[in-house]
A and B are shown apart, each in its own frame.
Chain A
């Protein structure tokens, strides 16, 4: 939220917040993830069910999206999770008068087209994987990870306050907004060193040639079908991250944040604003 009274507007301070490599990395990542998620749903739709272990026992899915005919003759989309059915007509199982796992607005290509979905998926998987490796090299080489992402002692002690502030939608201003807060640091570290390697490795475990070359991948994830399930779950953690990340971008000044990730320059909100915000939140 911005201030409503123009009279007390202080001179805004501008800082150079995101270095060029980080900005390029961010947008390549954003595009690749967006495409990988939606082409992933296309691939998932070819067999919209998940299992644990090495094989797919069709009678024992952890999750399955199906279409079923109700007694009225109406076709319903039914999602079964651990044996519990949920009516998900219009979203999962049956949407747009078609039997399909995810609806057409969530998949690339929008229609059923597994081979094309795979082509897109593997192309952007390469881009994402290379991007992650470059980032890790840069992140350690330039000390970006250590300087900006690893939480400090005071950061860690501040976690309860930070959680409370986030829940009340109270955001840092002034000096504090020049750095990432502790929850930001932890979630970025979690994504970069947790989710990204996990999604790449579980993806590779679905490759029969990689399983022959590195059989420990099968042991690590408990089988090819388990790896597929973890790949899918990790995808939803990414979706969750993106939802929270984009909401925070909007809540803490959409245009300022977008500008800082495009040009590097970030306008620091002064304490005057913070004061007013805390009165009106």
Chain B
């Protein structure tokens, strides 16, 4: 065999590897910006959701911790003080006039003041908040079970999702919203929390109430919830993907 000298071969190989990696990386970036490839990738979300539903029972409970496990500092991600005049007015009078509206495809639309929510049976849970960025923080949350509220307003049979409309706008004025299916909405740990670590929910964490969806990632846990609506489809709401971050490419099913 007439092999090239080892040094030439080595130079050839390392040159080839470098060229190939650059091409491969540019190729991956092109794929990310194409139409078809992200659409292929997005099938994973359905597969993951179905697989996790098979592996995990509807009522499987997220781990509950003890008070000693609480984070000393619980980061407030996303909006921490909504730049919205109506919201700021509510903060200034201690949410005395705030009412949670529950409507959409329900038999008996209703609205609840903070005092009324506080009088209803409550659930307190010390749970881990897992951010999509990768960090986790633990806090104790007290609130009313979403399932209890839904039983009062009685969703119609055609309703399939519960949507949460929030007070916090982004720089473009687009307000935060989120949605969950009925499995998650009626889960015993799904609460609208008005207390964090035994204190009234602070503004950076979503006063007067925030959603806790303990088996999904942090962006599902909408803060500053103003209105709850039962709907049949998510397609006509916001960007049509079921949530603020979902409209920007994040998965609607955030169980992983």
Contact = CB atoms under 8 A, between A and B. Distances in A.
Contact of B52 (A49, A207, A225): A207
B1 A116 contact: no
B52 A254 contact: no
Given A54-B65, A56-B137, A224 B130 contact: yes
A3 B1 CA distance: 8
A211 B216 CA distance: 10
Chain B contact-residue range equals 35 or more
B215 A208 contact: yes
A133 B34 CA distance: 31
B68 to A, nearest CB: 11
Interface stretch (B148-156, B163-171, B191-199, B248-256): B248-256
Interface in B56-82: 56-57, 60-63, 65, 69, 71-73, 75
Given A55-B69, A212-B62, A224 B136 contact: yes
B16 to A, nearest CB: 10
A114 interface: yes
A44 B50 CA distance: 26
A126 interface: yes
Interface residues on chain A, size class: 35 or more
A127 B102 CA distance: 42
A75 interface: no
A210 B55 contact: yes
Contact of A6 (B2, B29, B32, B130): B2
B88 interface: no
B128 A213 contact: no
A228 to B, nearest CB: 6
B135 interface: yes
Contact of B216 (A43, A46, A120, A209): A209
A119 B220 CA distance: 17
A37 interface: no
A108 interface: yes
8 contacts: A46-B134, A56-B137, A108-B28, A110-B29, A115-B250, A123-B44, A208-B128, A209-B215
Given A119-B42, A119-B44, A126-B48, 19 more contacts: A6-B1, A43-B134, A47-B134, A54-B138, A55-B138, A56-B137, A108-B25, A118-B132, A119-B251, A122-B44, A207-B256, A208-B62, A208-B128, A209-B215, A209-B256, A210-B52, A213-B57, A218-B63, A254-B13
